[in-house]
A and B are shown apart, each in its own frame.
Chain A
Amino acid sequence: MSDRDPRAADGVGAGPPYEPAGRADIRQGLGWFALGVVVLVLSLKMARLADQGVPPYAAPGLLPGLLGIAMMAFGGQVALRGRRAYRRHHGGPAAGGEPQAPQLAVRRLLAVMALCVVYAVVLIGHGLPFWLASALFVSTSILLLQAPQRRAAGRRIDAKALAFAVGMGVAAGLIATLVFQTFFLVRLP
């Protein structure tokens, strides 16, 4: 598909480094299996609508139940495959080494996640004008994301960097509001 992660080949899509062969598959397979069990149980508990004359083969839970069974089957297959790989390599890494994922900038990632959640859940749609909420989010994000590069270059966040971030944020918020709301009549949160 066109939207396959283009960086998968670069190892971004691979599991954590130095994990024993097959362990990730065991964990993930069991997770899928458990999800399948939950889906199957919920489907069986779903109303069959027999009092409305609905035959059992047209009950709303039919397809979800089948999906739960299929998930259990494929999840089980992934887990078994992982178990075989784990035994084959005696709990060590696969021959030739497991593909190593590049180390994530974890703190940076957590900060981005927090900012996005605050913007999407708290800032927009709760009374603050959209342009202002967006300006706050974009400015803060730019400052936060550029901070490590500035630190590495031995520079501090000065007035110029602050003005750039605030300018970008206000411009982004105002332009988006103008384009979407005024020109294209799209409602904004």
Chain B
Amino acid sequence: MLGGLGDLGHAYLGILNPFSILLGLSGALTGILVGCLPGLSATLCIALLTTLTLKLDANNAILILVCSYVGTLYGGSRSAILLNIPGTAANAASCADGHSLALRGEAGRAIGIATSGAFTGVLFGVLCLATLTPVLAHVALDFGSYEFFWLALFGVTMSGRIVGDDPAKGWLMGLLGLLVAQIGQDGLYAHDRFTFGIEALSGGISLIPALIGAFGFSEILTTLSNPNLGRIIDLKDSTLPRFREVVRYWRTALRSGAVGVFTGCMPGIGEDAGAWMSYAAARMFSREREQFGKGSIDALMAAETGDMSSIPGHMIPLLALGVPGSAPSAVLMAAMIIHGIEPGPMLMIQHPQFVFDVVAMTSLAMCTILIFGLFLVRPLLYVLRVPRAVLMPIIFMLCCIGAYANASRLFDVYAMVVIGFGAFFLRRRGYQMAPFVLGLVLGGLLDKSLRRGLVLSGGSLEPFFTRPISALLALAIVLTVLLQSATFRRVLARLGRRAGTAPEP
């Protein structure tokens, strides 16, 4: 315990220098700018910045990425409030109430509440990150191939279930991601799979180009094919953070923080789930629930606190288990691996200081959004006025650099373009990209865990179902899939009715 506090103190001292603070500020500023622009996601921002930070040392690179992650989600609330278009999907819950406040001439107040809610959410999440990660990592040391197999499958299943309106389509995208992850040499015997004699495919489809294609190029095509942008509402009142409102709505802030962290801890569920669940919980308990959707402060506070607290929440399974909670955290994980840090249960043994370094980085990110919320709200809004016709070609140029830079292979640029086209057409048909990304990230772990587990058990499936955590995860997955079936729900309802009407003995 005291050792942990010492490590935490050391981590804070490590980033309290002008260079780190400057890096944090620049990362957060980039994130806010990207977040302000509807369509450009946190995933794309982190993937592009991963390229830019390749030659920096691990801690500085991750500091920039963490700050940009926090900044992007915070920046997304600007366009939600002023344009009624969420900058990132996580800000969708803020649209109705934030924009209603803006229409009433209280845009500055709404931005101030978003800033204070975001700060409170990240603060709550940071406390949970510092305390829960070492505990979970300790528990995860007992995990074997069986548990990791189910955990990887659980991430993809939950992502497919929660994201979007159609679980079957979500799971199909998860399966597609898992399948694409199988391309190239397999992890146990280095045997080529699905390479069709193309040498470049032996190395597999790299994560960063795939993510840039799925989230960057497809977004460029989506934006340019539908170029109409709504009217931007002018700011007339003060945009200063409103901590008085946080005190007034402290129950909402605390509840939303807890909901955000909880959803963040669940592998595969993204930041938007944190925002929507916090919103729903606030509506359930609020005294002004009839105002929800019409400019409620309580609702805006809940949505912004919920999505921001889920960021540190996502880092808990990422660091402790090596299983990312969302698409942006999947890129963060890839960046950590590029910089020689392997997240997972062994992290607390191999790099124990790093977990506390991430806590300190997230705390710095939290402070940067407060600084930008205090001083730079109005100038940053000019980015919303940049024409898409000018911005998008430049973003595509950055996408090409991002895809190429990690391995210096032109093949990665081609892979990015192909995946981008595929993602664009799939998105137009209602398929979400998040389960695909989770599948892509977790495909290797799933394959290795399944076959290693079977080798260890001599081909028996028994340990996959008899070890306590394995059994629990397997049950959760089976129930998640079965509950989507109308027939199963009918059977359950019939059983429930029968139990309810059964005569008492």
Partner-B contacts on A (CB < 8 A): 1-9, 12-15, 24, 28, 32, 39, 42, 46-47, 49, 52, 54-58, 60-64, 67, 70-71, 74-75, 77-78, 81, 101-102, 104-106, 108-109, 112-113, 115-117, 119-121, 124-125, 134, 137-138, 141-142, 145-146, 149, 168, 172-173, 176, 179-180, 184-189
B175 touches A71 (CB 8 A): yes
Give, as a whole number of angstroms, the nearest-CB distance from B68 to chain A: 13
A74 touches B172 (CB 8 A): yes
A74 touches B168 (CB 8 A): yes
**Given contacts A1-B434, A3-B328, A142-B393, is CB(A58)–CB(B455) below 8 Å?**
yes
B428 touches A101 (CB 8 A): yes
**Given contacts A108-B224, A172-B394, is CB(A64)–CB(B179) below 8 Å?**
yes
Q: Which residue of B lies closest to A138 (CB)?
A: B393
Say if the beta carbon of B479 comes within 8 Å of chain A. Answer: no
Say if the beta carbon of B334 comes within 8 Å of chain A. Answer: no
What are 16 A-B contacts with C-beta separation under 8 Å? A2-B90, A2-B272, A4-B89, A56-B459, A61-B193, A112-B225, A112-B392, A113-B221, A116-B220, A125-B404, A145-B227, A179-B52, A180-B405, A184-B53, A186-B405, A187-B404
A186 touches B51 (CB 8 A): yes
Q: Which residue of B lies closest to A78 (CB)?
A: B168
B222 touches A5 (CB 8 A): yes
Which residues of A lie under 8 Å from residue B367 when comparing CB positions? none
Partner-A contacts on B (CB < 8 A): 38-39, 41-43, 51-56, 73, 85-92, 159, 162-164, 168-169, 171-172, 175-176, 178-179, 182, 186, 188-189, 191, 193-194, 215, 217, 220-222, 224-227, 268-273, 307, 326-328, 387-390, 392-394, 396-398, 400-401, 404-405, 408, 410, 413-414, 416-417, 421, 427-430, 432-435, 437-438, 446-447, 450-451, 454-455, 459
Taken together as a complex, chains A and B put the C-alpha atoms of A188 and B39 apart, in Å, by 26
Which residues of B lie under 8 Å from residue A180 when comparing CB positions? 51-52, 401, 405
Give, as a whole number of angstroms, the nearest-CB distance from A134 to chain B: 5
Of the candidates B53, B168, B215, B400, the one whose C-beta lies within 8 Å of that of A120 is B400
Which residues of A lie under 8 Å from residue B54 when comparing CB positions? 184-186
A1 touches B175 (CB 8 A): no
Which residues of A lie under 8 Å from residue B428 when comparing CB positions? 12-13, 15, 101
Which residues of B lie under 8 Å from residue A12 when comparing CB positions? 222, 226, 427-428
Q: Which residue of A lies closest to B388 (CB)?
A: A145
Q: Which residue of B lies closest to A124 (CB)?
A: B400
Q: Which residue of A lies closest to B193 (CB)?
A: A60
Taken together as a complex, chains A and B put the C-alpha atoms of A134 and B401 apart, in Å, by 11
Of the candidates B88, B91, B430, B451, the one whose C-beta lies within 8 Å of that of A63 is B451
Apart from A58-B451, A176-B401, A184-B55, what are 7 other A-B pairs with CB-CB below 8 Å? A2-B42, A4-B434, A64-B182, A120-B416, A149-B389, A168-B390, A180-B401
Taken together as a complex, chains A and B put the C-alpha atoms of A3 and B90 apart, in Å, by 8
Which residues of B lie under 8 Å from residue A106 when comparing CB positions? 225
Taken together as a complex, chains A and B put the C-alpha atoms of A127 and B455 apart, in Å, by 50
Which residues of A lie under 8 Å from residue B410 when comparing CB positions? 124-125, 189
B194 touches A116 (CB 8 A): no
**Given contacts A5-B432, A6-B88, A116-B396, is CB(A124)–CB(B271) below 8 Å?**
no
Which residues of A lie under 8 Å from residue B400 when comparing CB positions? 119-120, 124, 189
Of the candidates A9, A146, A168, A186, the one whose C-beta lies within 8 Å of that of B55 is A186
Taken together as a complex, chains A and B put the C-alpha atoms of A168 and B394 apart, in Å, by 9
A2 touches B328 (CB 8 A): yes
Residue of A2, A47, A60, A172 with most chain B CB atoms under a 10 A cut-off: A2
Give, as a whole number of angstroms, the nearest-CB distance from B52 to chain A: 5
Which residues of B lie under 8 Å from residue A116 when comparing CB positions? 217, 220-221, 396, 417
Residue of A3, A9, A117, A187 with most chain B CB atoms under a 10 A cut-off: A3
B86 touches A6 (CB 8 A): yes
Q: Which residue of A lies closest to B271 (CB)?
A: A2
Which residues of B lie under 8 Å from residue A8 when comparing CB positions? 164, 430, 432
Report the 8 A-B pairs with minimum CB-CB distance, sorted nearest first: A1-B270, A1-B434, A145-B389, A141-B393, A4-B89, A2-B271, A109-B225, A57-B454
B88 touches A142 (CB 8 A): no
Taken together as a complex, chains A and B put the C-alpha atoms of A187 and B271 apart, in Å, by 33
A62 touches B168 (CB 8 A): no
Which residues of A lie under 8 Å from residue B168 when comparing CB positions? 74, 77-78, 81
Q: Which residue of B lies closest to A123 (CB)?
A: B400
Q: Which residue of B lies closest to A187 (CB)?
A: B408
Give, as a whole number of angstroms, the nearest-CB distance from B118 to chain A: 14
Which residues of B lie under 8 Å from residue A58 when comparing CB positions? 188, 451, 454-455
Taken together as a complex, chains A and B put the C-alpha atoms of A117 and B414 apart, in Å, by 9
A109 touches B89 (CB 8 A): no
Taken together as a complex, chains A and B put the C-alpha atoms of A61 and B451 apart, in Å, by 10
Taken together as a complex, chains A and B put the C-alpha atoms of A43 and B392 apart, in Å, by 40
Give, as a whole number of angstroms, the nearest-CB distance from B387 to chain A: 7
**Given contacts A138-B397, A185-B55, is CB(A7)–CB(B85) below 8 Å?**
yes
A121 touches B417 (CB 8 A): yes
Taken together as a complex, chains A and B put the C-alpha atoms of A47 and B408 apart, in Å, by 31
Which residues of A lie under 8 Å from residue B437 when comparing CB positions? 1, 3
Which residues of A lie under 8 Å from residue B396 when comparing CB positions? 116, 119, 137, 141
Taken together as a complex, chains A and B put the C-alpha atoms of A75 and B413 apart, in Å, by 30
